[in-house]
Amino acid sequence: MAISNATSTFGSSCKTQATSTLISGSSTLGNRQTVVSFPTADIGYSVRSVMSLNTNDSVFDIQAGTATGTANNAGVAQIETATVVAASGITSSGTCTVTVTSNALAISPTFVAITLTSGQSATQAATAIAAGLAFNAAISAVFIATSAGANVILTRKRNSDANYVANDTSLNIDIPAGLGITAAATSTNTLSGVATTGTFIYDADGKDFEGVTLPTLLTLYSLEINVIRGSASASNGTHTFPLPAKFWFSSGNTGVLMSNDLTIAALSNGTEVTITVLGKST
């Protein structure tokens, strides 16, 4: 991969307001946004790191374009299944009140009244029950409600940090007897939930998008670290700084900012950062 037109945008400014007696008007202090070019740059790459927990970190070798992180586990979404047992289908129209219990619900147990119609099959009843659970705000905030045949299925959603969570042993779907349905008070933990943990690193294999190994970076022109979600800090053993951060050097940098490994530590769960590097190999 060959690169050209390597640039970085910088500029720090503020508005000033006169405060002396009978003086008015404002002016701009500092530099407006300016684009600086690096015509000799021959290396450019970006990497991404997602840190599941606030105890996770990522360690980047800026010169090589590689990274390592806390050992990870992608996690598994918990699945709970309840089966509508109705040998003759729904024999009379009315309301079936399904009870969902879970430590994850804002209100537990949550009672959901579902209207069923005489003549519906067990499969149709399961479809109606799943639709009723999906319509309930408390349940839909935490679970995806679906049906498959006569089965009513709740699948645990990722949390606000985009992580899967540990198995909830309190989860239960209780379908009561009546209207032709045989009671099914206890549901089945079809698939146990496994919490997402660790660091997930993307595009930090030391290769460009063509699969060619990047040359060793010997001069750093620009290092930009953005926080997409969450919060983090960075340290290279000499300097520690909060993120996001950006460094640029019109004539290049050959110091520890480039040569030392850069450790990015998550300060909140579900932190995601991107790093963009411009430099040259000579």
Residue 18's CATH number = 2.60.120
> Does this model's pTM top 0.85?
no
Residues 83 and 176 in one domain: yes
Residues 216 and 252 in one domain: yes
Considering the domain architecture, whether residues 222 and 268 belong to the same structural domain is answered as yes
Residue 1 lies in a domain: no
Residue where a domain stops, chosen among 191, 218, 234: 191
Same domain, 84 and 175: yes
pLDDT of residue 54: 95
Query: Which DSSP string corresponds to 166-193?
Result: ---TT-EEEBPSBTTBBPB-S-EEEE--
For residue 110, tell me if it sits in a domain: yes
Q: What is the pLDDT of residue 209?
A: 83
Same domain, 187 and 169: yes
Rounded (10°) CA dihedral 232, 237, 239, 244: -20
Q: Quote the CA–CA distance of 122 and 89 in Å, as a whole number.
A: 5
Residues in the chain: 282
Asked whether residue 97 falls in the same domain as residue 153, the answer is: yes
* Residues 169 and 142 grouped into a single domain: yes
Q: Whose CA is closest to 240, among 217, 263, 214?
A: 263
Question: Looking at the structure, do residues 226 and 134 belong to the same domain, yes or no?
Answer: no
The count of structural domains within the chain is 2
**Number of alpha carbons in the 13 Å side-chain half-sphere of residue 34:** 10
- Dihedral sign from CA coordinates of 52, 58, 62, 67: negative
Residue 27 inside a domain? The answer is: yes
Full pLDDT tens readout for the chain, 282 residues: 788 999 999 888 888 888 888 888 888 888 888 999 999 999 999 999 999 999 999 999 999 999 999 999 999 999 999 999 999 999 999 999 999 999 999 999 999 999 999 999 999 999 999 999 999 999 999 999 999 999 999 999 999 988 999 999 999 999 999 999 999 999 999 999 999 999 999 999 999 888 899 999 999 999 999 999 999 999 999 999 999 999 999 999 999 998 999 999 999 999 999 999 999 998
Of the three residues 191, 219, 253, the one that is the final residue of a domain is 191
What CATH number should be reported for the domain holding residue 118?
Answer: 2.60.40.4390
Q: What's the maximum distance between 2 C-alpha atoms anywhere in the chain?
A: 90
Same domain, 48 and 145: no
The verdict on residue 108 lying in a domain is yes
Is 223 a domain residue?
Answer: yes
Question: 162's torsion region: left (phi>0), alpha (psi -120 to 50) or beta?
Answer: left
User: 254 and 211 in one domain?
Assistant: yes
The parent domain of residue 56 ranges over: 7-71+198-280
Same domain, 181 and 83: yes
**pLDDT at residue 210, as a whole number:** 86
- Domain end, chosen from 144, 176, 191, is at 191
My answer on whether 87 and 34 are in the same domain is no
Taking the alpha carbons at both ends of the chain, their separation in whole angstroms is 16
The CA distance from 168 to 191, in Å, is 11
Q: Is residue 107 part of a domain?
A: yes
In a domain, 2, yes or no: no
pLDDT of 23: 84
Sheet-wide strand order for 66-69: 66-69, 57-61, 262-266, 232-235, 240-242
